[in-house]
Structure 1
Amino acid sequence: MHLIVHHWDTDGITSAALLVSALKLEDFTNLTAPIGEFRFDGRIWEAIERAKKLYVLDFNVPHEVEKVKVPTLFIDHHTQPKIKNPLVEQVNPSLEGEYYPSNSLVVSEYFGIWNAWSALGVVGDIGEKAFEIETVSELLKREGLTPGDAIRLVELIDSNYIAMDREAVEEAVGVLLNHDVRELLEYEPWVKQATTIKEAIESAVSGVEEKNGFAFVEFESPFNIISKVARKLVWEMGYWGAVVVNRNFHGKAQIYFRISPEEAERIDMGEVIARLKELGTNTGGKREVLGCVCERGKVEEALRIIEEYLR
């Protein structure tokens, strides 16, 4: 059995579909990790034990791949260390200092397979900036897809992980393989789900409060929409930054802090992340953004730290 472990977003799902097509795999299983967790859980490790070959796609878990005991092809585009495990073939342009905007492009180049999925992975990872890349525009045109269609397809595919539905994420690979890409624009389970999610995002954004050019939003939702809400506030509505809190996300709290590129010159996000980690929260991020999952009782303390940097 060939086992594919992939990220839960559009780039991970399209990467898996590209690999299956390129290798003409018939006997395969594809799994994703618990959504939001960069690790192999018991379910994945059990499947690895039964696998003849493992493929890990767009899932930045070098610490897990070091431990595998079956031949593995690890294709990624995130910054990561060189894998020492002799059973692993690691394909990652970042090891040579090259930047690839999506994993789908790395998979396409490695296997020489190019289609709409190659382009959708890029749109999933970098949004509208993807249309500035000639390869992306050409592939979409070839498949009769407009930029609007591509954005919509990503929204539909991503609705599975936003709904925290791990099984639906895994099924999405088969949906891609068994449907013409244009048909997916009308694929009813995804259309319904995306509509519900869009309503939840609009509802959250409608409750925005502004303080000194920064947006503050609080809500409760089972959907993983916190980053979408923050992007909308900063990218579309023009706030300098956004502090978004989901006070009840499956029993935990989520905090998301996004700032504009201008504010990133002033606010040291690395320092904010370090201070939130000291609270015992699960926090990570980069120059312009941080995500934090914590016990609901720690929200006020975490917000106090963030607000220090907004003055």
Structure 2
Amino acid sequence: MAFVLSETVWLYAVYASIGILVGLGRSPVSWAVCLAMYSASLYLSRGIGLFKVNSFVEYLIQMVGGVVLAYFLVGISNVPDGTDFSKTWIVGIKEWNFDQGEPVLCVILAFVMSAISWMRGGFSGAADSPMETLMFSFRIGIMVLALTVTVDMFHPAELHLKMLMLLFFASSLGGMAIGRIMPARGTSMSGSKWAQVIAAVVVAVVSLGALFSALGHSFLFYISRPIITVLSWVGTVIIYVIIFPIAYLAEFIIKGLRWLIGEPTVREEPQILPSEMGLGDSLQQLMKEAEDKGPSIFA
């Protein structure tokens, strides 16, 4: 169950980002639909594996089940408010009115995403090592959520990725902790503290995430200001201690090479500039202009 929850969260995050990119303003399928398709495919593939059936029959059952379930779930989740759901809902999709995006595009993407969730669940159900699969999914989910949660923060659409991110970490960390810390089979459970350790870690991570989500952007910006100030000081030190000496050294080497090689005998009349500055002087002038204009990479 931990694997199902963690995987469906980052799959839904990808679907929501695609929906925003194509102009729908939301995910073509809800997280509940993604969870239903994924879990149904996973448990169906494992259930069929218990019976000795032909491979063709197994694939046929999975395909028919996925098509039927996707048809009803896509219709239920995408029918506009005020429109009654019927078994022939797909006939009237051109008459639907969405606030954003085209209904036909939304339905097509919803079927594609439902099919991906169904196939992903089937592949996960056939996995021999669920613990390694969960760890691999956790690594992918962290990278995906790092991008999609940022999109959710700055986009006006409410994708509910912050709460789902907490669910992702709670389920993933809980599942991996149980798989790693849980005693082996046949071991006495008396006096064991593994359950308390798992619960404490999961509760601490989820509580911190919920706390920072509830505090808002202003409080987080207030906390991050000292860090930003320290980083700006470090950047200034690097510029004056490393960049400027390198610039002056490069200027000295270039002038030395020009003195050794000499000027060419035939050359055009050089354009006389009002003032000639070396590399170090140019950097100092750039720093002064940046301080006058406001915040930049130099100040």
TM-score normalised over the length of structure 2: 0.27
Bigger Cα Rg: 2
User: Normalising by the residue count of structure 1, what TM-score does the alignment of the two structures yield?
Assistant: 0.26
Which of the two has greater strand per residue? 1
Q: Relative contact order, CA 8 A, sep 6+: which one is greater?
A: 2
